[in-house]
Chains A and B, each alone.
Chain A
Amino acid sequence: MHDDHPDNPHAPVARDHPMTEFERRVDAVQTLLIEKGLITADQVRRRVEEMDSRSPTLGAKVIARAWVDPAFKARLLADAKAAIAELGIEFTQEAALVAVENTQKVHHVVVCTLCSCYPRGLLGYPPDWYKSLNYRSRVVVDPRGVLKEFGTEPPPDVEVRVLDSTADMRYLVIPARPAGTEGTSEAELAELVTRDSMIGVAQARTPALR
């Protein structure tokens, strides 16, 4: 991505900084695993490419469809892996994908307090803050305080539900469809869906703020 050439792990590469200890170790471990025939450099490169192809844009497509098609939303809530496959998206994780819906009465927000479980097979790499110790510590005990830091303030009569994904489930939040989008096209709706709204720390954008 930045400064290196993935194809040949032995090739000298141009860098604008000396190798860090971490970089040397990654290189050493990869080289040894290749020498032992467990992985190939090509597999590593393809795996990185595969992850780079995963992004919140895919998730946004799923959410926009759920907003315009109630039957699809019902299928998404019942079996998310099968539902996204209808849109040609393969969930590339072994874990199950589970969708939960935010409404005018309920607001879900997702965390993994023990680790960093995330629906990366759909949304790509998790953001740094999701993996951070402060987020993992605080969002379970003070979700509204953390949500406020993200500019999200569910009214007191909304039930805030924190989802701590400790096991084999990866949670996708279906954010509430913004008001005033009745005539908005599916493609335009997808542009309102942010990564953070699919984690539950934010609402979907409103058209005016797009």
Chain B
Amino acid sequence: MSARFKAGDRVKVRLGSPPRHFRTPTYIQGKIGTVERLHGTYRNPESLAHGGDGLPKQPLYRVRFAQPHVWGKYPGPPRDQLLIDIYEHWLEPA
């Protein structure tokens, strides 16, 4: 599976709370960040967690978010960042 995004791309995290295992924390859903790097492609844990084979493999990215964007009342300096690994199917172009 070829990767849809590259470093520097702006992405928005999809919203969702499916009644199964998923790896995208609620706090980051709906937020807009910047792709920092593509880690590679990995078996999809959302399938593996339910006995599936995890295929097709999903591109996995590290995405960077400005802390004040993630939290309305971030108590630290605005330069602080949050980095989180997110699978491609949870991302859309922003």
Instruction: Please tell me if the beta carbons of B83 and A166 are within 8 angstroms of each other in the complex.
Output: no
Count of residues in A whose CB is under 8 Å from the partner chain: 24
Give Cα distance in the complex from A169 to B70, angstroms.
22
Also in contact, A156 and B42, with CB within 8 A (given A140-B27, A141-B71): no
Give Cα distance in the complex from A113 to B67, angstroms.
16
Q: What 1/0 mask marks residues of chain B from 39 to 51 whose CB sits below 8 Å from any chain A CB?
A: 1101001000000
Also in contact, A159 and B23, with CB within 8 A (given A141-B71, A167-B87, A169-B85): no
Give Cα distance in the complex from A156 to B39, angstroms.
30
Also in contact, A165 and B85, with CB within 8 A (given A144-B75, A159-B80, A160-B76): yes
Q: What 1/0 mask marks residues of chain B from 66 to 88 whose CB sits below 8 Å from any chain A CB?
A: 01001100111101111111110
Also in contact, A166 and B75, with CB within 8 A (given A140-B82, A160-B80): no
Interface range, B side: 20 to 34
Instruction: Please tell me if the beta carbons of B82 and A144 are within 8 angstroms of each other in the complex.
Output: no
The answer to whether the Cβ of B29 comes within 8 Å of any Cβ in the partner chain is: no
Q: What 1/0 mask marks residues of chain A from 154 to 174 whose CB sits below 8 Å from any chain B CB?
A: 001101111111111100000
The answer to whether the Cβ of A178 comes within 8 Å of any Cβ in the partner chain is: no
Residues of A within 8 A of B86 (CB): 166-167
Instruction: Please tell me if the beta carbons of A144 and B76 are within 8 angstroms of each other in the complex.
Output: yes
Instruction: Please tell me if the beta carbons of A161 and B25 are within 8 angstroms of each other in the complex.
Output: no
Give Cα distance in the complex from A162 to B83, angstroms.
6
**What's the minimum C-beta distance from A82 to chain B, rounded to whole angstroms?**
14
Give Cα distance in the complex from A160 to B82, angstroms.
8
Chain A CB within 10 A, most for which of B27, B39, B77: B77
Instruction: Please tell me if the beta carbons of B82 and A169 are within 8 angstroms of each other in the complex.
Output: no
The answer to whether the Cβ of A145 comes within 8 Å of any Cβ in the partner chain is: yes
Contact of B25 among A144, A145, A164 (CB under 8 A): A164
Give Cα distance in the complex from A157 to B80, angstroms.
9
Give Cα distance in the complex from A207 to B45, angstroms.
44
Residues of B within 8 A of A163 (CB): 83-84
Ordered by A's residue number, 25 sampled pairs between the chains whose C-beta atoms are within 8 Å are A113-B25, A140-B82, A142-B76, A143-B80, A144-B75, A145-B75, A156-B76, A157-B77, A159-B81, A160-B67, A160-B77, A161-B80, A161-B81, A162-B80, A164-B28, A164-B82, A166-B25, A167-B39, A167-B42, A167-B45, A167-B60, A167-B85, A167-B86, A168-B60, A169-B60
